[in-house]
């Protein structure tokens, strides 16, 4: 079979692959605890489900406008005004089939072959492969646990070349859980202000799953001067436990949003009509469900980070948000040379501790593992006990 070089250059999403493997092992009867997938374990709140049921009953089951229904785009405009003090009009908003589609629309609309996309690591697994689908090259800026996994202005400056077209920011970050402060964003923004040909995408999908005392800030809130070159990518998957409904949205300069819409019109058309009604309820209805979920994530975070740090050779930072813990296992790897990589250690934990996690290599960060704590305290407890015993057996 002769497939395109485009597809030959990418790999299946590693987070989805690990989770698939865990599901297969479970089906074979292995008692795997799956901490691989970044997906809230809560049910979608009832009022959101009811909005979808009503949409169905009212026959709201046809194609919608490619860019999404106007009331939803208006609700998104209001969300950005209320939460972020950012002003958009509905024609600056595009609703897509998940934040994932927003990102691929953006990269296809913006990147030419040979263009460079700057990506701070650890990064979410799909960004480099999406850039590759657009023919572009990813330039990675490495960060480590010692710098809280955050890039500095001088690291960014050093990575910029005449070919740089796009910079990706994701705060709070998947996989590290770290969020940039407004001052940190400002110093990065100042470098970007001096480079007027560079576009910026800020993936704010974890904005609400955040517990730091300083209010959330993205690059635009820190540097409003970047508004004509910045796209915000967001969605309802994480905030409202709606991963399967597939609704994400992008906000940015009208000509770029329109180009992204053209790509969407030739690939998937508008997102699911019923899900759009559900997303409208999510954004405009009561928000107490979000608070409750975030509080639970924080309790689990405290427990997981504490338990990981008790394991010899494992070091984990306190995160600012998300539902991921991203410990360094470098000392474990140094002590147990049979594990030549974090992937082999993850495999050992899968087979010997029955715990599925994602190796740091998948996020461009060898020497780390990602654990999702979007699962019950009971399972987390069991998983961490089994992991501690399996690591102890290594001596």
Rounded (10°) angle between helices 126-133 and 99-110 = 40
Q: Which of 132, 176, 230, 237 binds ligand PMP (CB under 6 A)?
A: 237
Q: How many residues of this chain bind ligand GLU (CB under 6 A)? A: 10
Are 229 and 269 spatial neighbours (Cβ–Cβ below 8 Å)? Answer: no
Query: In the bound complex, what is the minimum distance in angstroms from residue 59's beta carbon to ligand GLU?
Result: 31
Q: Return the residues of window 164-193 that contact ligand PMP according to CB under 6 A.
A: 170, 174
Nearest to residue 332, comparing CAs of 304, 302, 360? 360
Task: Give the bridge partners for 202, in sequence order.
Answer: 169, 232
Residues whose CB falls within 8 Å of the CB of residue 324, separated by 6 or more in sequence, listed in order = 38, 174, 175, 176, 177, 370, 371, 372, 373
Residue whose CB is less far from ligand PMP, 54 or 294: 294
Q: What are the angstrom distances between the C-alpha of 318 and each of 124, 145, 324, 326?
A: 19, 11, 10, 9
Query: Is 22 or 160 the residue whose CB approaches ligand GLU more closely?
Result: 22
128 touches ligand PMP by CB under 6 A: no
Give the span between the Cα atoms of 373 and 380, in whole angstroms. Answer: 7
Q: Which is nearer to ligand GLU, 160 or 357 (CB)?
A: 357
Tokens at 292, concatenated: 């409750």
Q: Are 105 and 264 in contact (CB under 8 A)?
A: yes
**Interaction of residue 15 with ligand GLU, rule CB under 6 A:** yes
Spatial distance between the Cα atoms of 245 and 227, rounded to a whole number of angstroms: 29
Do residues 190 and 223 make contact, with C-beta atoms less than 8 angstroms apart? yes
- Tell me which of 84, 101, 132, 174 binds ligand GLU, using CB under 6 A: 174
Q: Which does 203 bind (CB under 5 to 8 A by kind): ligand PMP, ligand GLU, none?
A: ligand PMP
Does 16 participate in binding ligand GLU (rule CB under 6 A)?
yes
Q: 3-state class of 333 per DSSP?
A: helix
Q: Which is nearer to ligand PMP, 243 or 287 (CB)?
A: 243
- For ligand PMP, which residue has the nearest CB? 98
Which parts of 311-370 interact with ligand PMP (CB under 6 A)? Answer: none
- Window contacting ligand PMP (CB under 6 A); options: 94-102, 291-299, 307-315, 365-373: 94-102
Question: Nearer to ligand GLU by C-beta: 13 or 284?
Answer: 13
Question: How far is residue 325's CA from residue 370's CA, in Å, rounded to a whole number?
Answer: 6
Give the number of residues in contact with ligand PMP, rule: CB under 6 A: 13
Q: Residues 107-126 vs ligand PMP: string with x where CB under 6 A?
A: -----------------x--
Q: Would you give the DSSP letter of residue 13?
A: -
Full DSSP string of 129-169: HHHHHTT-EEEEEE--GGGTT---HHHHHHH--TTEEEEEE
- Given candidates 117, 125, 160, 251, which one binds ligand GLU under the rule CB under 6 A? 125
Distance from C-alpha of 261 to C-alpha of 68, rounded to nearest angstrom: 10
Contact with ligand GLU (CB under 6 A) among 35, 37, 199, 231: 37
Instruction: Tell whether residue 240 is a contact of ligand PMP (CB under 6 A).
Output: no
205: contact with ligand PMP by CB under 6 A: yes
The one segment of 56-64, 215-223, 235-243, 256-264 that binds ligand PMP by CB under 6 A: 235-243
Distance CA 5, CA 21 (A): 26
Per-residue buried b or exposed e for 29-52, using 16+ beta carbons within 10 Å of the residue's own CB: eeebbbbbbbbbbeebbeebeebb
Q: C-beta of 235: minimal distance to ligand PMP in Å?
A: 4
Query: Is 241 near ligand GLU (CB under 6 A)?
Result: no
230-235 and 164-170 beta bridge pairing: unpaired
Residues that bind ligand GLU (CB under 6 A): 13, 15-16, 37-39, 124-126, 174
Residues that bind ligand PMP (CB under 6 A): 38, 98-100, 124, 170, 174, 203, 205, 235, 237, 243, 248
């Amino acid at each position: 079979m002769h497939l395109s070089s485009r597809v030959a250059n990418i790999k299946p999403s590693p987070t989805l692959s690990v989770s698939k493997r865990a599901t297969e092992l479970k089906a074979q009867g292995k008692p795997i605890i799956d901490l691989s997938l970044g997906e809230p374990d809560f049910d979608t709140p009832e009022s959101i489900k009811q909005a979808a049921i009503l949409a169905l009953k009212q026959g709201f089951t046809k194609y919608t406008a490619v860019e999404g229904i106007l009331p939803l785009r208006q609700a998104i405009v209001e969300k950005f005004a209320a939460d972020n003090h950012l002003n958009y009009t509905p024609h600056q908003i595009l609703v897509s089939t998940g934040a994932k589609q927003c990102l691929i629309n953006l990269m296809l609309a913006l990147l030419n072959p040979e263009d460079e996309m700057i990506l701070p690591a650890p990064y979410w697994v799909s960004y480099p492969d999406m850039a590759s689908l657009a023919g572009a090259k990813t330039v990675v800026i490495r960060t480590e646990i010692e710098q809280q996994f955050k890039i500095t202005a001088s690291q960014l400056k050093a990575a910029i070349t005449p070919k740089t077209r796009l910079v990706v920011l994701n705060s709070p970050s998947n996989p590290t859980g770290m969020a940039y402060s407004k001052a940190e964003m400002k110093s990065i923004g100042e470098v970007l202000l001096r480079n007027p040909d560079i576009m910026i995408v800020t993936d704010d999908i974890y904005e609400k799953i955040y517990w730091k005392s300083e209010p959330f800030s993205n690059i635009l809130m820190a540097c409003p001067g970047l508004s004509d070159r910045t796209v915000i990518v967001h969605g309802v998957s994480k905030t409202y436990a709606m991963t399967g409904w597939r609704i994400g949205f992008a906000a940015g300069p009208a000509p770029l949003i329109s180009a992204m819409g053209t790509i969407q019109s030739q690939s998937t058309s508008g997102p699911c009509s019923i899900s759009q009604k559900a997303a409208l309820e999510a954004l405009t209805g009561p928000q107490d469900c979000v608070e409750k979920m975030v509080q639970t994530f924080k309790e689990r975070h405290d427990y997981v980070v504490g338990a990981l740090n008790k394991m010899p050779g494992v070091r984990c930072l306190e995160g600012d948000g998300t539902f991921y813990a991203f410990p360094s296992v470098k000392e474990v790897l140094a002590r147990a040379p049979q594990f030549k990589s974090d992937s082999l250690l993850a495999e050992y934990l899968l087979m010997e501790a029955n715990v599925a996690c994602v190796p740091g290599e998948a996020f461009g960060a060898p020497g780390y593992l990602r654990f999702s704590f979007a699962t019950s305290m009971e399972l987390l407890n069991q998983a961490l006990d089994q992991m501690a015993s399996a690591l102890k057996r290594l001596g």
